[in-house]
Amino acid sequence: MGESPVPNVVWVTVESTRADHTSVGSATNRAGRDTTPGLRARARRDDGRSFGACHAHGIYTLPSSASILTGTVASHHGVGMGSERLPADIPTVAERFAEAGYRTAALSTVGHVSSATGLDRGFDRFAWLTASTALDVAGPATALTYGANLRRHSAGFTASLNRHRTGYLVSEVAKRWVDDAASDDPPLFLYVHYGDPHFPYVPPLPYLRAYADEFPLSPAAAYDLAEYHGRHILDLIAGDVPLSAAERETLSALYDACIAYADDRVTALLDHAERTLGPTASVVTADHGDLFGERGTVGHRMTVHGGLSNVPLVTTGLDAALSYGGDLIQHVDVVRALLARAGADTSGLHGVDVRETEREHALVQRGERRFAANLAKLRERRPAYRNDRYLAGTEHALFTDEFAYRRGDDRSELLRLPDEERDVSAADPERAAALDAALDDLLATDGVPFDGERREGSYTPEMRTHLRSLGYL
């Protein structure tokens, strides 16, 4: 029996969401919190599937999103690995859908996914939504409704922009775009990037209250801690994360509350899309996770780690995902499956054909340029800062179901999952050698740089201000 018609595709990427802080899949919430009931319900549908071992291709938004939107690994497209803009000759996923007869639209909340990086290429309709553009993008009526519901969708009436979440605005704009598309015949490819779980971890008031009993600190102190953490990420890393147990527990609970809010907003959008468009294939995932002290770091700056790369993945309406026999998967695999289902050109795409092959390992990469810049900032704060906890230069890592093999310019490590703290290569040299050879093969094929040219992003002043508030500049 062939696949049922699934003409529409909605891909949702949620910022900074690690799999083990969700309540779906095999990597469920480490604190036992039900943070993603909406995603769990979708995964349990007859046409739904969740993956507990999905690994992003990078450790922050730029390389990971570029891999999603090109279907290629990070060292090939180079975006976020040393370059900031997509080469013009690498086709985007949106262009492939457009050539297959789709209308294409994308709504982003971060400058890394915008015209500044070329990742808007191929979208018929594109908007970047943040504080400086919210009124223009959302429109006066939606903005007024948001303002009237600040205590439901933000921290309430405050002049601190960091305490206002954009999830409501994103969902309402995206739903309006879905309504616009419903009256036309061509199918729709819609890409939406939610930013709500990114630090500072300031959940809307109802979600703060729902988790308040789990905060060792008072709600007011918790909000202040979240803003301090967001503003002083580098100071915290330079000081070897001098947070008390109560502060760490509070940050983790605040983070989970932000994820719960994102789950609510994403579910509202997807339910609306299915009611309005009819048969729809959907994907919900994240661009990366966040660290909370693992390997002596916080956020998502310094090193490859499962807490950064292992992200949630839930699909509905994609038969190829239902038939996939494994749990280890990457975004490029899902991109390939969606484009194949749409009858689009899949030549030049990376990843495995999930209808025929199971992935043996996942490739995750960290570029040298951003790492070196962050290391320099840490040494400005603390000249004696030890960097030997990190691999030097460009870092490549292979994840299997049980191990992570990481290689930099100075050394390599074999780490057992989920610990990722102790190098066990001396105790298992054959496994280390086999993964080293597999990494060589990947870097000599899919991982070969497209052209190696360094391209700067063309960020507007407003984008730079927003990226700076997120700790990227």
Whether the CB-CB separation of 45 and 304 falls below 8 Å is answered with no
**Residue 317 within any structural domain of the chain:** yes
Q: Are residues 17 and 65 in the same domain?
A: yes
pLDDT band at residue 471 using 50, 70 and 90 as cut-offs: confident
Question: What pLDDT is recorded for position 468?
Answer: 79
Whether the CB-CB separation of 338 and 318 falls below 8 Å is answered with yes
- The β-bridge partners of 9 are 189, 281
Q: Are residues 245 and 282 in the same domain?
A: yes
pLDDT band at residue 3 using 50, 70 and 90 as cut-offs: low
DSSP letter assigned to residue 4: P
How confident is the model over 240-295, as pLDDT tens digits? 999 999 999 999 999 999 999 999 999 999 999 999 999 999 999 999 999 999 99
**Residue 468 within any structural domain of the chain:** no
Whether the CB-CB separation of 412 and 432 falls below 8 Å is answered with yes
Question: What pLDDT is recorded for position 2?
Answer: 47
Q: What is the pTM of this model?
A: 0.96
pLDDT band at residue 161 using 50, 70 and 90 as cut-offs: low
How confident is the model over 325-383, as pLDDT tens digits? 999 999 999 999 999 999 999 999 999 999 999 999 999 999 999 999 999 999 999 99
How confident is the model over 392-437, as pLDDT tens digits? 999 999 999 999 999 999 999 999 999 999 999 999 999 999 999 9
Q: Are residues 281 and 396 in the same domain?
A: no
Residue 314: how many CA atoms within 13 Å on its side-chain side? 29
Inter-helix orientation angle 245-277/219-231, to 10°: 90
**Residue 449 within any structural domain of the chain:** no
Domain boundary among 364, 392, 422: 364
Domain boundary among 364, 399, 416: 364
**Residue 451 within any structural domain of the chain:** no
CA gap 39, 24 in Å, rounded = 7
Whether the CB-CB separation of 335 and 68 falls below 8 Å is answered with yes
Which residues, in sequence order, are CB contacts of 420 under 8 Å at separation 6+?
A: 294, 295, 305, 306, 404
CA gap 372, 392 in Å, rounded = 9
Which residue range(s) make up the domain with 415? 369-444
Q: Are residues 151 and 220 in the same domain?
A: yes
**Residue 112 within any structural domain of the chain:** yes
CA distances from 449 to 94, 288, 291, 407, 453 (A): 21, 22, 28, 18, 9
Reduced to 3 states (helix: H, G, I; strand: E, B; else coil), residue 389 is coil
pLDDT band at residue 159 using 50, 70 and 90 as cut-offs: low
Q: Are residues 217 and 264 in the same domain?
A: yes
Length, in residues, of the chain: 473
Mean pLDDT in residue range 67-81: 99
Identify the helix (H) or strand (E) that includes residue 54: strand 48-55
Whether the CB-CB separation of 228 and 273 falls below 8 Å is answered with no
E strands present in 367-410: 395-399, 403-407
Tokens for 52, please give them: 């507990």
Mean pLDDT in residue range 46-64: 98
What CATH number is associated with residue 135? 3.40.720.10
Question: What pLDDT is recorded for position 214?
Answer: 86
**Residue 16 within any structural domain of the chain:** yes
Q: Are residues 348 and 379 in the same domain?
A: no
Cis peptide, bond prior to residue 5, ω within 30 of zero: no
Residue 394's nearest CA partner among 438, 434, 362, 364 is 364
Provide, rounded to the nearest whole percent, the portion of the chain with pLDDT above 90: 83
**Residue 61 within any structural domain of the chain:** yes
Query: What Rg, from alpha-carbon coordinates, does the chain have?
Result: 21
Q: Is residue 192 over pLDDT 50? A: yes
DSSP letter assigned to residue 60: S
Taking the CA atoms of residue 438, residue 439, residue 445 and residue 446 in that order, the dihedral angle to the nearest 10 degrees is 120
CA gap 290, 303 in Å, rounded = 11
**Residue 314 within any structural domain of the chain:** yes
Q: Are residues 306 and 422 in the same domain?
A: no
Domain boundary among 314, 337, 364: 364
**How many domains does one find in the chain?**
2
DSSP letter assigned to residue 406: E
Tally Cβ neighbours within 10 Å of residue 118: 23
Comparing 147 with 9, the larger pLDDT belongs to 9
Residue 348's nearest CA partner among 450, 455, 451 is 450
Comparing 54 with 215, the larger pLDDT belongs to 54
Q: Are residues 386 and 350 in the same domain?
A: no
Q: Is residue 1 over pLDDT 50? A: no
